[in-house]
Amino acid sequence: MTNKKEINAGIIVIGNEILSGRTQDTNTSTISEWLNTIGIKVMESRAIPDIEKYIIDTVNELRNKYNYVFTTGGIGPTHDDITAKSISRAMGLIYGPHKEAMSILEKYYKSGEFNEGRQKMAWMPTKANLILNPTSGAPGFNVENVFCLPGVPSILKAMLGGINNKLIGGDPILSLSIKLRTVESEIAQSLQIIQDSNQKVDIGSYPFFKAGKLGVSLVLRSVNQSDINNCAIQIKDMIKEKKIEILEEI
């Protein structure tokens, strides 16, 4: 099996409401799970405020650092929606009414309802590729390796499918979870040894508390199923030796 090059991405969540604690971000996990399935690994996610300098600096840093950048939020019609304008500035592109986006929104709204606020949603880098929005009309956009999506989770989810064919992924990232009735400190040293001899598998250890009982989820991740299998055998030998109960394996 030949491995393709690892393809990676950064996520930028734009909006004061995330940083004030008012809104719980769920877009990071939505985008990350979806990217996993097409072999793209998310290396970092940054939540930043609706401030032009933050957007420009963060977009420019991450688009040079990663294969892909996904932004969410700030593409609606109100004064605090400054993502499209800021990204145009960051990338040195003309910000203006996008012909195709104007045409889509004109058709979407009833005659006489395509007001100035709604027209603003068609303003973006004029040369952008559109990301179609099957649920609420206003499209997202893509320029080079930067993909701009809305902040509303249900609308964002509906738009991801339309981007699949624009991305070149690596091998899908596979995983195996083993839930144990133990505590981390019981297995910490043995796990370190197993991780050291399984460099191609990323072993995560996550304590959990459920229904008053303690447990640990081990998560093995790799692009190679046989590497995961080999690592799992070593973990199960260790578990057996320590007489630890396996609660679930998925």
Residues that bind a second copy (CB under 8 A): 15-26, 28-34, 36, 41-50, 54, 76-80, 115-118, 120-121, 152, 154, 173, 175, 184-189, 191-192, 195, 202-207, 209, 219, 221
CB of 107 to a second copy, least distance (A): 16
CB atoms within 10 A of CB 242: 12
CB of 160 to a second copy, least distance (A): 12
Cβ closest to a second copy, residue 36 vs residue 60: 36
Cβ closest to a second copy, residue 128 vs residue 173: 173
Element of type H or E holding 155: helix 153-160
CB of 131 to a second copy, least distance (A): 18
Cβ closest to a second copy, residue 2 vs residue 185: 185
Cβ closest to a second copy, residue 143 vs residue 194: 194
CB of 208 to a second copy, least distance (A): 8
Cβ closest to a second copy, residue 19 vs residue 93: 19
Nearest to 129 by CA among 163, 83, 169, 81: 163
Cβ atoms of 172 and 39 closer than 8 Å = yes
CA–CA separation, 142 and 148 (whole Å): 6
CB of 195 to a second copy, least distance (A): 5
Q: What are phi and psi of 50, to 5 degrees?
A: -75, 65
Strands (E), 98-235: 123-125, 129-131, 140-143, 146-149, 174-181, 202-210, 213-222
Reduce the DSSP state of residue 72 to 3 states and report it.
strand
Cβ closest to a second copy, residue 46 vs residue 129: 46
Structure tokens at 84: 């499209």
- Which DSSP letter does residue 80 get? T
CB of 134 to a second copy, least distance (A): 15
CA–CA separation, 131 and 44 (whole Å): 23
Per the document, the length of the chain is 250
Structure tokens at 42: 């998310």
